[in-house]
A and B are shown apart, each in its own frame.
Chain A
Amino acid sequence: MELYTQLVVNGITNGAVYGLLAAGFVLVYRASRALNFAQAGMGALGAYVLFDVMKGTGGGTGRYLAGFGLGVAVAALLGLATERLAIRPLRRAPALAPLIATVGVLLLLQTLIILRWGGDLRSIPNPLPKRPWRIGRLVGFHSVVVNQSAVLILVVMVVLVSLLALVVTRTRWGLTIRSISDNPDAAAGLGVPVGRVSGQAWALGAGVGAVASLLAASTAILNPYTLFLLQIKALVVGVFAGLKDLRLCLVGGPLLGVVESLAGSRIFGHQVAGLSDSVGFFALVAVLLLRAGTITETLGDTRAS
């Protein structure tokens, strides 16, 4: 029982990153009906900028915060530039053209990162608290621990995603996003600066994604590949949220974390090779097929008129 409690706790904290990354996808999708597959590359580049700032130092707080801000800003600028150069010109193109474009940006960023920093494992010196908390003591499970930095990430995630959800549902800017998401042409006709708002959403989405990437890279290791895998899993959470509901990202991230954590254990009596990394995708296919009806109704060419 203690073991499973620990697995669930691990899952929730691991999943926090997924939730935050997913919020970035959802925001961008709502403002431009494109999935930012390059978000992974943008976050990774931001993480390497942070690495450059921190490398060789002892991980001072002031320096870390400045580097963190710089990394997130770089990612946000990349989001803005991608929207302006590759997404906006394709506004009238079929839905799959922006997809190809973001995939191209992803490949470009990945290549640039390897050229500049190589493919080796790095670690970012950081001032994040590293002591474990024995939270299990409260209920008598003495071995259940949680890392302080993991709790910090969870808090950041809950605060940021809730803030984003509030911005989208309560502010004037959020209203323009929702109007674009419902009908971009009608929104444009009513004087919503569709291009500008979608550019802002791309910057914000890439920035939020970068916060998650930088935190994940700081607490674990940094290499060009692991961050991409995180992003793909976050995409699963984004789809779970219907690419629409930010609040579902809040739940979906930790949920996927828990499922993965349990699937990676000896829960079936023995370990299944690769199941932990794959289980989210089985869930994805199941979720999509169950929701297929509603998805096709809004997007597909099914009407015969």
Chain B
Amino acid sequence: MRASAPTGARALRTFGPWVAVAVAVGAYPFLVSPYWALIGSFVVVYAIVALSLTVLTGWAGAVSLSQAAFVGLGAFTAAELTSRGTNFVLWIPVAMLLSVPASVAMGAVALRLPGLYFAVVTLAFGVVAQYMLFIPLENHGTTQVARPRWGAVDFGNERYFFLLCALAAALAFGATLRIGRGKTGRALLTVRTSRTAAEALAVDSVRYRTLAFVVSGCLASGAGVLLGTLIQSSRSNQFTLFASIQYLAVTFIGGIGSVLGAVLAGALQVLPTELIRPFVEGRDSDVLRQFAPLLQASLLLVVVVLRPDGLLGLLRSLGVRAGLLQPRPPREVAYAAPSGRARRDIGFTLPDWDIPAGALAAAVGRAPSAEVPDRAAAGAPPALEAKEVSVHYGAVVALDAVSLSVQPGELVAIIGPNGAGKTTLFNCCSGFQAPGSGTVALRGIDVTCLPAHRRAAAGLGRSFQTPRLVDGMSVFENLLVGFHPRVVHGLPGEVAGFSYVLEEEQEFRRRVAALLDAVGLSAIGGLAAGDLPSGLRKVVEVLRALVPVPDVLLLDEPSAGLDPRETRWLGRLVQTVNGELGVTVALIEHDMSLVMGISDYVYVLDFGRLLTAGAPAEVRSDPTVIAAYLGKEALPV
């Protein structure tokens, strides 16, 4: 639901630039010679190729050295369908369909290997495609591609063909832009940063990465069809490793991960040759052919070492300096050295806790729960129950038949010396580690076999000892990822831009804004998470975990790295979440004043065994606990 109908001025501001771009692109081929219309088509097609790498490398974080194989797949599909006389309308869909199995296979391999090994596998894929598919096809004579003709419109005319390419590019860029800005883009960036964090936020990392591979493969093979049709042939020597490297180079130079950067990349792929052509024509064709790769390789090195956000990032920062653009988080840039981004003073410290009762509940859209059911009166199954959970690493026993039961609405603390197995227990509960034996149940339902993201979707939230935020995204967007399990719409709706999708997105944005407002952190909402000091990072991570209001929230050392004031703030937050929102909380904690102050029940672990459990007061005076923490000598004799 929109707040109000857009007025004329607002409509102009929203749609004006797009209309201007559309008019300029539409008029372009008719203002220039057919040759420059052809060059324009090349730019547009290579921009789509770069876009496919933006999705794959920029968003999914996989460096591929065989993107040319996908482009080649499209071009050879065009050649094959030409020889069969198939209607042009079907060429792109057929090529996309053919690319899907290859993408899924690559995605499956990428999920199991670290990035460097995956890059080696893509090399292999490129060579296999070359030797087992393209060269045999070429030897078989499948190389000619015919330009289509629709009635009176003959796409043999470079001007019309440019319009066709531009239309395809508009669709590709529109769809990718929507994917990138919405739920899918945020989920992908989270997966790229840390698969573990993503799974804890109910993001199915396998599904999303595979999705990115498929989208990238479809874009590349679709562009391949256009490229083949553009040059009216497909040859194996166009789709070599060096073509792949060139695509990667221009995409990086343009600004990897940014959709606008892909447009620059298309220009960088084609225009250098055209710009020097007048100066070398007829003299030395090697110079003409090698000038572009020479420039691209040199620029690539400069960009990787000095300017990871590429040409677009450079332009943007110039724009900011000139006062034309607002600074914004460097969302997708992931290839920067961390030291490259100096921590600056953000001029914000966490205020004292003065959040009125009920404000948090109102912000997340929950009525404050009237009362917390107490332990004795519990008729319902426990919110979280671990039974006899054991974990062994070789001969080392990390957990030895530990049982834990958290009643709905309870706030439970797990304490114990370092290495006691506390985090291992959490990992077993949240699905990051398969216990050697034992079971885990959520609200009485056995979840031992469920993967982490399914448990998160079922209402089990989790924060980590070291915060795992997406550094390039704003605090606001990081919190939006928290809503992932509550978002109903999927990729097709996102691409189509249905109104219910937009409304849902708006609704969750409103809720994040309300939450930030309620906890007094609105001022940092727009900052990049990577710019936050460590205390605030921790706070944002805990907030992200509670955004979807899980049934059970596991907090792993929330106060580690916080100063005393921040620790108090966080303690109040946890109490409020537990008391007002009715969220069952289990936390691992070393800060004893925090533990004793807020928890209802305390479990003590030592050397992988449950030492004792009970109310805070009992545990505090238990001699075995004192012995475990301070040594036997510390016991009062």
Residues of chain A having any CB pair with chain B under 8 Å: 35, 85-86, 89-97, 99-101, 103-108, 110-112, 114-115, 118-119, 228-229, 232, 235-236, 239, 273-275, 277-278, 280-282, 284-285, 288-289, 292, 295-296, 299-305
Distance, CA A101 to CA B123, complexed state (A)? 16
B132 in contact with A99 (CB, 8 Å): no
| Residue in B closest to A29 when the chains form the complex, CB atoms | B116
Contact of A95 among B116, B123, B304 (CB under 8 A): B116
B124 in contact with A281 (CB, 8 Å): yes
B286 in contact with A114 (CB, 8 Å): yes
Contact of A107 among B120, B246, B286 (CB under 8 A): B246
Task: Report chain B residues within 8 Å CB of A105.
Answer: 297, 301
Distance, CA A229 to CA B127, complexed state (A)? 9
| Residue in A closest to B63 when the chains form the complex, CB atoms | A96
Given contacts A97-B308, A114-B289, A273-B139, 7 further A-B contacts (CB under 8 A): A90-B304, A93-B340, A107-B297, A112-B294, A278-B131, A304-B200, A305-B556
| Residue in B closest to A235 when the chains form the complex, CB atoms | B120
Distance, CA A115 to CA B113, complexed state (A)? 37
Which residue of A118, A236, A274, A295 has the most chain B CB atoms within 10 A of its CB atom?
A274
B294 in contact with A108 (CB, 8 Å): yes
Task: Report chain B residues within 8 Å CB of A111.
Answer: 290, 293-294, 297
A300 in contact with B127 (CB, 8 Å): no
Instruction: Give B112 Cβ to nearest chain A Cβ, in Å.
Output: 4
A275 in contact with B127 (CB, 8 Å): no
Task: Report chain A residues within 8 Å CB of B200.
Answer: 304
Task: Report chain A residues within 8 Å CB of B117.
Answer: 239, 288, 295
Residues 224-261 of B at the A interface (beta carbon under 8 Å): 241-242, 245-246, 248-249, 252
A97 in contact with B304 (CB, 8 Å): yes
Distance, CA A85 to CA B133, complexed state (A)? 38
B136 in contact with A101 (CB, 8 Å): no
| Residue in A closest to B465 when the chains form the complex, CB atoms | A305
Residues of chain B having any CB pair with chain A under 8 Å: 61, 63, 65, 109, 112-117, 119-121, 123-125, 127-128, 130-132, 135-136, 139, 194-196, 200, 241-242, 245-246, 248-249, 252, 286-287, 289-290, 293-294, 296-298, 300-301, 304-305, 308, 334-340, 423, 426-427, 430, 432-433, 464-466, 556
Instruction: Give B301 Cβ to nearest chain A Cβ, in Å.
Output: 5
Task: Report chain A residues within 8 Å CB of B132.
Answer: 273-275, 278
Distance, CA A91 to CA B246, complexed state (A)? 24
Distance, CA A119 to CA B139, complexed state (A)? 22
A93 in contact with B337 (CB, 8 Å): yes
Contact of A90 among B286, B297, B337 (CB under 8 A): B337
Contact of A296 among B112, B242, B249, B300 (CB under 8 A): B112
Instruction: Give A65 Cβ to nearest chain B Cβ, in Å.
Output: 31
Instruction: Give B268 Cβ to nearest chain A Cβ, in Å.
Output: 13
Task: Report chain A residues within 8 Å CB of B339.
Answer: 92
Instruction: Give A119 Cβ to nearest chain B Cβ, in Å.
Output: 8
Instruction: Give A117 Cβ to nearest chain B Cβ, in Å.
Output: 10
Task: Report chain B residues within 8 Å CB of A305.
Answer: 423, 464-466, 556
Of the A-B pairs whose beta carbons lie under 8 Å apart in the complex, a sample of 21, sorted by A's number, is: A90-B305, A97-B308, A97-B337, A101-B300, A103-B300, A104-B245, A107-B293, A108-B297, A112-B294, A235-B120, A236-B124, A277-B127, A281-B128, A282-B124, A285-B109, A288-B117, A295-B113, A301-B196, A304-B432, A304-B433, A305-B464
| Residue in B closest to A107 when the chains form the complex, CB atoms | B297
B286 in contact with A274 (CB, 8 Å): no
Task: Report chain A residues within 8 Å CB of B123.
Answer: 232, 235, 281
Distance, CA A114 to CA B286, complexed state (A)? 7
B65 in contact with A285 (CB, 8 Å): no
A100 in contact with B304 (CB, 8 Å): yes
Known A-B contacts A92-B337, A114-B290; the reply to A303 vs B196 at CB < 8 A is: yes
Instruction: Give A1 Cβ to nearest chain B Cβ, in Å.
Output: 29
Distance, CA A101 to CA B119, complexed state (A)? 13
Distance, CA A106 to CA B304, complexed state (A)? 14
A301 in contact with B116 (CB, 8 Å): no
Distance, CA A103 to CA B301, complexed state (A)? 9
| Residue in B closest to A40 when the chains form the complex, CB atoms | B241
Task: Report chain A residues within 8 Å CB of B113.
Answer: 288-289, 292, 295-296
Task: Report chain B residues within 8 Å CB of A303.
Answer: 196
Distance, CA A229 to CA B63, complexed state (A)? 20
Known A-B contacts A95-B115, A110-B242, A281-B124; the reply to A100 vs B248 at CB < 8 A is: yes
Instruction: Give A29 Cβ to nearest chain B Cβ, in Å.
Output: 9
Task: Report chain A residues within 8 Å CB of B304.
Answer: 86, 90, 97, 100-101, 104
Which residue of B241, B286, B296, B465 has the most chain A CB atoms within 10 A of its CB atom?
B241
Distance, CA A35 to CA B61, complexed state (A)? 17
B338 in contact with A92 (CB, 8 Å): yes
| Residue in B closest to A91 when the chains form the complex, CB atoms | B337
Instruction: Give A106 Cβ to nearest chain B Cβ, in Å.
Output: 7
Contact of B65 among A103, A278, A289 (CB under 8 A): A103
Distance, CA A24 to CA B334, complexed state (A)? 29
Task: Report chain A residues within 8 Å CB of B432.
Answer: 304
Known A-B contacts A96-B115, A100-B300, A292-B113; the reply to A86 vs B305 at CB < 8 A is: yes
